[in-house]
């Protein structure tokens, strides 16, 4: 079993489920008292969030690359960046280390394709929804992406940073997200990609008319697969 290097804290609320899922998958696969070999670098999110708002992606890339190198030097053989938005700088991390990065967009796209879908709605931070680093990568897998209109994107982004990243999961926001998702379905979305690792914590197991793809769950399971390969 390879050691997994988790680069988390963005936010820490969604990093916790990664650890839980990794260990559950390893226990299911290997049985007994087996658990995942994990190293965690949990960063302080506030300075990085400020850099995001300033659109200083170069500095974000450098900061996260340093943490990725530390994980590799500590013994990690698989790298996992526990956030969707920060995959905007994934290539910077990949260039800094000699271990494979399990890319969240690729494994999510694989799950969408396995479900037989070709058009999905995308929910995430405004960076993920409005910039092309995420949608373009899904497009290379033959998946068309629909995003909410501007006012809905602002609502989704506000809830992520002002509520979900702070551990607040409000029924009113859950209802608001359901309305945004239903609008995407009415526009032709065959499924919804929850492209922020906190959204699954808000929605839980509530039923929805089309498949929901919880990127945190998908990503963690793919990381476990990589470690056990």
As annotated, the active-site residues are 83, 196
Place of tokens 């396995």: 114
Place of tokens 């359901």: 178
The residues facing 79 across adjacent strands are: 5, 101
Structure tokens at 125: 């931070």
Cα 104 from Cα 83, distance rounded (Å): 8
- SS3 category, 212: strand
The residues facing 39 across adjacent strands are: 5
Cα 182 from Cα 187, distance rounded (Å): 9
Give the count of beta carbons closer than 10 Å to the beta carbon of residue 83: 29
- SS3 category, 87: helix
My answer on whether omega of the bond before 11 falls inside 30° of 0, hence cis, is: yes
Structure tokens at 7: 């680069």
């Amino acid at each position: 079993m390879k050691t997994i290097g988790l680069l988390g804290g963005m936010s820490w609320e969604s990093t916790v489920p990664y650890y839980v899922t990794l260990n559950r998958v390893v226990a299911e696969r290997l049985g007994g008292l087996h658990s995942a070999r994990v190293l965690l670098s949990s960063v302080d999110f506030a300075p990085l969030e400020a850099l995001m708002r300033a659109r200083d992606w170069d500095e974000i890339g450098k900061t996260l690359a340093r943490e990725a190198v530390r994980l590799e030097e500590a013994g990690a053989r698989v790298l996992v960046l526990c956030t969707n938005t920060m995959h905007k700088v994934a290539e910077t991390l990949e260039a800094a280390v000699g271990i494979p990065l399990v890319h969240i967009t690729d494994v999510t796209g694989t799950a969408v394709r396995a479900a037989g879908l070709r058009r999905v709605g995308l929910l995430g931070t405004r960076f993920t929804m409005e910039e092309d680093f995420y949608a373009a990568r899904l497009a290379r897998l033959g998946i068309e992406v629909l995003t909410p209109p501007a006012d809905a994107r602002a609502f989704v982004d506000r809830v992520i940073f002002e509520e979900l990243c702070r551990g607040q999961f409000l029924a009113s926001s859950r209802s608001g997200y359901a309305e945004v998702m239903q609008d995407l379905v009415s526009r032709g979305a065959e499924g919804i990609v929850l492209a922020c690792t906190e959204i699954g914590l808000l929605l839980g197991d509530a039923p929805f008319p089309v498949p929901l793809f919880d990127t945190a769950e998908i990503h963690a399971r793919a990381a476990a697969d990589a470690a056990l390969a």
